[in-house]
Each structure stands twice: as C-alpha cells, then as structure tokens.
C-alpha cells in the first residue's frame, strides 16, 4: 500500500477499530465488527471516503489488518480489525493454540525497551494481547505480527509457555497472541534467545 490517502485511511481504521470505537460512539459486535455505513458517517471518514475505498484498503493491506463481512441478519457490510484491540469484550475471532506447531515464534521490539524487558518480561500494556510472528522479518510468509523496523527479536519457547499453562491464540491473519500471565507478562524464562537486527546475540 503506497497511496498516501490509503495509508491515512488504514491508520484511521486501525485506531478507531482497535482503540477508539467506544469513545467515538461506534457500536462493535463481540467479534469487533461495526457497520461500514456507520463508519463512513463518522467525522474521521465522512465526505472523504467511500465504501470502495474501504474495500480497497482491506484487500490491499499487506498485513491483512482488517476483515469485511456481510452480517447474516442485517445484510449490512461490516468491518473489523483482526487483532490489536485495547477494547474489552472483543473476541477477535481467535483460534486456540494447544501445541507448539510453529518452529519460530518471535516478538520484535526496540533497543530502548529491551533493558526493562530482559528484567521484567514482555508486557501486553494497554492491549489485550502480546503479539508474536511465526517467523522473522526475512521470512516472506510473515505478513503481520512483527514490525519491520524492529531492532531486537525475542524468540519464544512456546512449548514451555504452553506447558506452564499460558494461553496462546492465532488470529485470522496469522499473528500469535497471548494475554501473558495473571499480571499481563511473558517472563524472560520463556525467551529461547534474543538477537539484534544485525544477528548478534543479546544478553
């Protein structure tokens, strides 16, 4: 997605569907859907975008952040964000992970955050989940879950975390998600290894 208008629309959709819907007066279903028609009447979108613009952004988004559906009861076109919600009560349409069937599970972060992470672990912060990718930035199958500008890569021992009772899920666009422990953390004991974006091992 290189069109500046589409990038602006994608960012606005991400914010309102993940974080701002309730504050902005939009109604979300338990799965996180809201009618496209209602969205287009919102101040961020009214008069600037059409249904075709939203359909194009959903189709061309390289990280597959959004999903459209026709509501089976109302027959209205609806949209949701596939993951990343800070809003409570949104299920995100997740599939539980019961075994470590992925050879690589990685969280990307930045050097200025790593000093606290290596002591305290990864925090979900204000979101519902901590995000992991099923591969590294060089893996062409990784479409979401890992920032391209990440400086630090934390490899997860998924099996150990599952064995200890932590719950993991996969979103519809392939992101691995967990709420962490009761305090919202993935502790450092579950880190297999940590590397920099140059390939160096970090301790």
Residues 131 and 72 reside in one and the same domain: no
CATH classification of the domain holding 31 = 1.10.10.970
Query: Which pair of tokens denotes residue 95?
Result: 């599939």
Average pLDDT of the chain, as a whole number: 86
Reported pTM: 0.61
> Within a domain: residue 202?
no
Its sign, for the CA torsion 119, 120, 123, 125, is: negative
Q: Please write the tens of the pLDDT for every residue from 49-78.
A: 999 999 999 998 877 888 899 988 889 999
Three-state DSSP state, 156? strand
Which helix or strand (DSSP H or E) is residue 157 part of? none
In degrees, rounded to 5, the angle at the alpha carbon of residue 67 between the alpha carbons of residues 62 and 72 is 160
Whether 72 and 101 map to the same domain: the answer is no
The residue among 49, 81, 113 that closes a domain is 81
Q: Is 54 a member of any domain?
A: yes
Structural domain ending residue among the three candidates 81, 112, 127: 81
Are residues 111 and 190 located together in one domain of the fold?
yes
**Is the residue at 88 inside a domain?**
no
Whether 15 maps to a domain, the answer reads: yes
Q: Is residue 101 part of a domain?
A: yes
Question: 85: pLDDT confidence band, cut at 50, 70 and 90?
Answer: low
Quote the tokens at residue 67.
């999903």
Q: Which domain holds residue 145?
A: 95-196
Domain-ending residue, one of 31, 55, 81: 81
Banded pLDDT at 142 (limits 50, 70, 90): low
- The Cα 118–Cα 12 span in angstroms is 33
How many domains does the chain fold into? 2
Rounded CA-CA distance 26/19 in Å is: 11
């Amino acid at each position: 997605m290189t069109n500046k208008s589409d990038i602006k629309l994608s960012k606005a959709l991400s914010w309102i569907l993940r974080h701002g819907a309730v504050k902005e007066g939009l109604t979300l279903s338990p799965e996180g859907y809201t009618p496209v028609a209602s969205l287009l009447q919102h101040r961020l979108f009214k008069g600037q975008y059409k249904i075709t613009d939203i359909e194009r952004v959903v189709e061309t988004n390289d990280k597959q952040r959004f999903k459209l559906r026709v509501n089976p009861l109302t027959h209205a076109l609806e949209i949701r964000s596939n993951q990343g919600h800070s809003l409570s009560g949104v299920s995100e349409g997740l599939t539980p992970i019961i075994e470590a069937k992925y050879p690589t599970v990685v969280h990307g972060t930045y050097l200025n955050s790593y000093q606290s992470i290596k002591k305290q672990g990864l925090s979900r912060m204000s979101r519902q989940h901590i995000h992991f990718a099923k591969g590294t930035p060089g893996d062409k199958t990784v479409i979401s879950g890992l920032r391209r500008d990440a400086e630090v890569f934390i490899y997860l021992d998924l099996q150990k975390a599952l064995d200890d009772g932590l719950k993991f899920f996969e979103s519809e666009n392939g992101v691995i998600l967990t709420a962490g422990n009761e305090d919202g953390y993935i502790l450092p004991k579950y880190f297999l290894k940590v590397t920099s974006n140059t390939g160096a091992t970090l301790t």
